[in-house]
Amino acid sequence: MIAAGVKLLGHREGPALTVRAVCREAGLTERYFYESFADRDEFVRAVYDDVCARAMSTLMTADTPRDAVERFVALMVDDPVRGRVLLLAPEVEPVLTRSGAKWMPNFIDLLQRKLTRITDPALQAMVATGLIGALTALFTAYLDGRLAATREQFIDYCVGILLNPVASY
């Protein structure tokens, strides 16, 4: 059922997620849906949490900044439905405002732990927060087709963003 939710929430023309559409896509009855979820909002949060957890897991297994960017591109750009759920759905699904706010610190903390060259914790936090904000904007624009960059250009630029601020400390 979550896979059906990802597909519908990340639809190219915007979220098309209703309980009936989820049940139709998953081949299940509405009764089964309501045995698993209290309502549509709870289901939307579960779908978003699943995508965020996969993204976090992907990033946690990366060995280098390049590896992290390449894995994230593979997860979010090669499967644009998943990318739209993570990056675009919170803009149009009010219920995701809290979920997005809940996940953002996790991504920032993960990056902050990688910034070992920066010894000042306050500076580490500011750099990590700025980098996550910049990368979120870049991935959103790339998914939306607003950046006319090749895949390699995009990856190289994102890696450069990660390495340049760290190199100066």
pLDDT for 32 equals: 93
In the structure encoding, which two tokens stand for residue 158, read together?
């994102």
**Contact assessment for residue 81 and residue 159, using Cβ atoms and an 8 Å cutoff:** no
In the structure encoding, which two tokens stand for residue 56, read together?
């976090």
Phi and psi torsions of 168, nearest 5°: -80, -5
pLDDT for 75 equals: 93
In the structure encoding, which two tokens stand for residue 48, read together?
């978003």
pLDDT for 92 equals: 86
CA distances from residue 92 to 68, 89, 136, 147 in whole angstroms, order as listed: 27, 5, 16, 21
pLDDT for 24 equals: 94
pLDDT for 12 equals: 83
Q: Give, for all 169 residues of the chain, the pLDDT tens digit.
A: 999 999 999 988 877 889 999 999 999 999 999 999 999 999 999 999 999 999 999 999 999 999 999 999 999 999 999 999 998 898 889 889 877 678 889 999 999 998 888 899 999 999 999 999 999 999 999 998 999 999 999 999 999 999 886 555 5
pLDDT for 168 equals: 59
Q: What is the pTM of this model?
A: 0.87
What single-letter DSSP state applies at residue 18? -
pLDDT for 15 equals: 75
